[in-house]
Structure 1
């Protein structure tokens, strides 16, 4: 069964993202006193009194607008309304009722959904007279809160969980694969997610920087559950001017840290740039399973050597990530997009793989027989045994006689032998060497 979905909607700048962060228990949505900062639906898992639900933040609704971004924000908010079980309609309790509030209320009444009217920015125990204006909307008693100070949040959540449908699952869920879609601005990350999901779940525009937040989108294929995290494109530091851009980069890096698998989306027309290599480095340093997605492959002029030439160039420029599979796709036409889910499952399994100590030591023993460890000044490196101590990524501790004798080239040889034996496609592995007795 699906979890209950709670959507936060309202006109711009009434404090929706602040409330979202308060209910999610962490700072996920970008919060800035500037209309239009939250453009997409942003997802998070939330909990109250041991009941778990999915929370959606939306861009501010501007009912009558011809602006391309604002009109898509309205469309995203409408999709959130359509999928929600409970809607939190947030208004500014200090500013009072506006014509836009009335139009949003009309949208909500047509939806026939359960709606709670939330008057935000009530920062004192004294209720301002403006709050009574909202009875005119016919959406029940306004619930006074202060999202920034946390006032009234408990009462609001009590009201929310009372409205959950009985056929929804509110239990804690494990086994979800978190997938961060990372890359430079305008590489096609949002288009790729929309193609995989089969619907317009995130805003797609050819204006670079459209996605400013890291957006969590739950998705299920059969028994396999995923959360796709569409991240803001990471720009070069010198090109980051706005505060919002800085927040977006931080959010993208945080998304990498939260993820199990990273899809590194690269524009095939530009091939691998220095910035792509830096973004790949973030994923590698954080020990994440990674798939290299070469997007816009349909736009590349090809001959019989194009594929091999691209593959060689990618491997040279991302030499530290030789374990990552490469997939040439087109998010626009759908070319090879159907292979991505199976590849995600494969690299996620490798990322979580455990090897028994006995089998691991058989492989290490064979490797030592084939290629004797180095020696220095009459002393030879001795390898006693190894054991796996962690996953995500797989981590191994190998006990030796003298750390000074472990040469980098032999360390790489052992890693290659372990990879050859167990695969580990798509995931880095970590080897740590300790002197016996440490």
Structure 2
């Protein structure tokens, strides 16, 4: 279901992101006392009374200035306004009306979208009325004194706001695959998001650190009823480029990187974007390790492949080198693309589907134990110096996302790292699990407890 959109607009540093966090009851939008923190348009779901809607945060709007990102920010604001049912112009009650506020108000009057005027930073209810009264001169109707920090006055603003929203039915949960796009700065993450969505959803620039917020975008992939293929929904999350920790100063970049790590944690599948020109760096390795630690499924996307001089062996050489260096995620599938030209970008979601399926797949206890029996027959567990051999009694999958298998053994210490890796390889060879980490839990089990545990496991399997 397409929700109505409320666009939050204003000049830099008036508290737009604070208002967005207040209206959406979230803390996702980066708030920092510095102009130009928000650049892309970011969406948050919100609710008031009986209405669901999307509130979209935008960058600070400045006209007649084409330096750095300002022209691109204007494009993002215009795109947000074009799809909005109502706009909220946020101004600063502590500074009073500014020429830039009047300029934006005049610009908004040229559009057919209804506009509400929110006078932010009115922390005192008594003083707020006086502060807000100064903004009648903008000619946008009644100014609402509000405080994004404390929430005062936002109820009156929202009561008026929902009168402009079209009625919608009660929302139903739509299954979606959450896909985080992560990587170092300037590897093409935002270009990849734009290629996957087919629109300029994120600002793309050669300047490192352009993206700061984690940008969510819901995309529907049409199905094919004749082939029995259902449509699928994906929540694509573009994230800030992640640099070395020692290179990051406290501020917008620091918050953006924290949002990126949270995006990894809340995703089903992570697209780890690698720059084909730079190859795998130390920071890429750390990101791969982070993905594996969080237990997320992954696809390695090698971007800028169009810029590489190639022969018939180039792709195989690159693939071998990348797999060797990203051994943390050796189970992840790899694809070589060009976000700039769109080359093979449409195939990325196929790999996402495969990884997401394996990430949530469950295998019966009987199948797991068949694999274990064959693995042990080919390679017996090691024997320690005292002549005591390790013994695997049975295994069972205890959870998914990622697939986690508990192995009950006589003594976990008797199984060295080599043998544990051998068992994991056997599971992957026999059961698949391509694109997802597999966790093995080695649990010691006394022989006298084994029979009762096996009975309970069999009962659970039958249920």
TM-score bracket for the superposition, by shorter chain length: over 0.9
User: Which stretch shows the higher mean deviation, 262-271 or 125-134?
Assistant: 125-134
Matches within 5 A, 1:164-313: 164-166=165-167, 168=168, 170-222=170-222, 223-241=231-249, 243-313=251-321
Contact 1:268–1:300 (8 Å) recurs in 2: yes
> Which residue of 2 is the match for residue 60 of structure 1?
60
RMSD: 1.9
Quick check: 1:11 aligned with 2:2?
A: no
In the aligned structure 2, how far is the partner of 1:7 from the partner of 1:422?
A: 48
Q: Deviations over 1:346-375 (max 9, x none)?
A: 111111112222222222222223322222
In the aligned structure 1, how far is the partner of 2:364 from the partner of 2:114?
A: 52
Q: Deviations over 1:44-69 (max 9, x none)?
A: 23334464432211101112222240
User: Which stretch shows the higher mean deviation, 304-313 or 48-57?
Assistant: 48-57
The alpha carbon displacement at 1:23 in A equals 2.5
In the aligned structure 2, how far is the partner of 1:24 from the partner of 1:430?
A: 36
Matches within 5 A, 1:27-426: 27-49=27-49, 51-126=51-126, 127-166=128-167, 168=168, 170-222=170-222, 223-241=231-249, 243-376=251-384, 377-426=386-435
Q: Deviations over 1:12-59 (max 9, x none)?
A: 111001111222323212211111111111222333446443221110
Q: How many residues align?
A: 437
Contact 2:131–2:145 (8 Å) recurs in 1: no
**Counterpart of 2:36 in 1: which secondary structure?**
coil
Residues 407 and 176 of structure 1: is their aligned pair in 2 closer, same or farther, counting only changes over 3 Å?
same
Residues 244 and 160 of structure 1: is their aligned pair in 2 closer, same or farther, counting only changes over 3 Å?
same
The alpha carbon displacement at 1:244 in A equals 2.2
Return 5+ residue gaps in structure 2 as ranges: 223-230, 454-463
In the aligned structure 1, how far is the partner of 2:49 from the partner of 2:441?
A: 43
Higher CA-based Rg: 2
User: Which stretch shows the higher mean deviation, 188-197 or 403-412?
Assistant: 403-412
In the aligned structure 1, how far is the partner of 2:431 from the partner of 2:48?
A: 43
User: Which stretch shows the higher mean deviation, 169-178 or 338-347?
Assistant: 169-178
In the aligned structure 1, how far is the partner of 2:170 from the partner of 2:274?
A: 38
Contact 1:297–1:330 (8 Å) recurs in 2: yes
Contact 1:9–1:58 (8 Å) recurs in 2: yes
User: Which stretch shows the higher mean deviation, 156-165 or 223-232?
Assistant: 156-165
In the aligned structure 2, how far is the partner of 1:86 from the partner of 1:386?
A: 57
Contact 2:337–2:344 (8 Å) recurs in 1: yes
Q: Deviations over 1:239-274 (max 9, x none)?
A: 223522222222221221121111111110111011
**Counterpart of 1:380 in 2: which secondary structure?**
coil
Contact 2:277–2:307 (8 Å) recurs in 1: yes
In the aligned structure 1, how far is the partner of 2:398 from the partner of 2:111?
A: 52
**Counterpart of 1:379 in 2: which secondary structure?**
coil
**Counterpart of 2:90 in 1: which secondary structure?**
strand
